[in-house]
Structure 1
């Protein structure tokens, strides 16, 4: 229960990467592996910033240049032709800094576009606590 309350605190206000690392460590001690993965994801968001977006997959394949980690909210996988809210953590931040809510990015896994995502929110990196 304490982890849930602390996570909710992190959802309300930006928390530094160390906060999420501590939650991941506690979850690891409690054998809550899915929570460990989520808290480590949130640590990445706090470190690099993130983009919340609505992603629609095309009925086809999925190349990367402006590379980002992808987390599909509320699902294990997103099937072709479906839409879902996603979280993107830029792995090449220099290609992402210009994006604002309303912008659309195209998803590739090959030369053919696999989907497109409309940016809903930009989450800046959280400064390291001193």
Structure 2
């Protein structure tokens, strides 16, 4: 069995995958990540690499290296986020503003973890032959919040289980969330996340 690559080496390998000229909003570069090696400051290197991913689309292996590194150092939510971003780089996704139904109006009465494990159904405008809604499944990631409670609102990311069903979804569309026969929330599409193209 081969030796496991240490987390900082994985971060340096991710830095090597960055296209020339990529910078964070604050001006951080891949060279800054490499400089962290001299100071043994893997946390700052990690934060720089995550920020690089906000600046532009990056390839799936980049996110895979970050996910592996995060897992090694016990940053489980970060590892899940990097896995999520790898999936977006491979298959694309949808960003939306979600408003959950209140506890008195919907099926859900408790908060849910916003780390991509919830896979509700969505009315995205598809219809059966008899005109009934044909629901599509997409996993749900809540941006910037660990949980979302009934009645709450947040920016979210959706990872369609069957991306081809979502090809007609466009910015401004209204989607209904279903966890039961009763609608559990409403989302407005903010953007379409394209898969990575070199």
What is the alpha-carbon distance in structure 2 between the residues aligned to residue 126 and residue 53 of structure 1? 20
Match of residue 96 from structure 2: 53
Match of residue 53 from structure 2: 10
- Does residue 78 of structure 2 align to residue 78 of structure 1? no
What is the alpha-carbon distance in structure 2 between the residues aligned to residue 33 and residue 58 of structure 1? 29
What is the alpha-carbon distance in structure 1 between the residues aligned to residue 88 and residue 107 of structure 2? 27
What is the alpha-carbon distance in structure 1 between the residues aligned to residue 141 and residue 190 of structure 2? 15
Please list every run of 5 or more consecutive structure 1 residues that lacks an aligned counterpart in the other structure. none
Deviation readout 1:36-76 (Å, 9 max, x if unpaired)? 11111111111111111000111211662311110011222
Of structures 1 and 2, the larger Rg is shown by 2
Q: CA deviation at 1:106?
A: 0.6
Of Structure 1 and Structure 2, which has the larger fraction of its residues in strand?
1
What is the alpha-carbon distance in structure 2 between the residues aligned to residue 46 and residue 84 of structure 1? 22
What is the alpha-carbon distance in structure 2 between the residues aligned to residue 91 and residue 39 of structure 1? 18
Q: CA RMSD in A?
A: 1.5
TM-score w.r.t. the length of structure 2 is: 0.61
TM-score w.r.t. the length of structure 1 is: 0.91
Q: How does 1:1-130 map to 2 (within 5 A)?
A: 1-59=44-102, 60-61=106-107, 64=121, 65-127=135-197
More RCO (CA 8 Å, sep 6+): 1
Give aligned pairs, total. Answer: 128
What is the alpha-carbon distance in structure 2 between the residues aligned to residue 26 and residue 40 of structure 1? 11
Q: CA deviation at 1:109?
A: 0.8
Task: Choose 52-61 or 27-36, whichever is displaced more.
Answer: 27-36
What secondary structure, in the 3-state scheme, does the structure 2 residue paired with 1:26 have?
Answer: helix
What is the alpha-carbon distance in structure 1 between the residues aligned to residue 176 and residue 69 of structure 2? 37
Q: CA deviation at 1:9?
A: 1.0
What is the alpha-carbon distance in structure 2 between the residues aligned to residue 96 and residue 45 of structure 1? 14
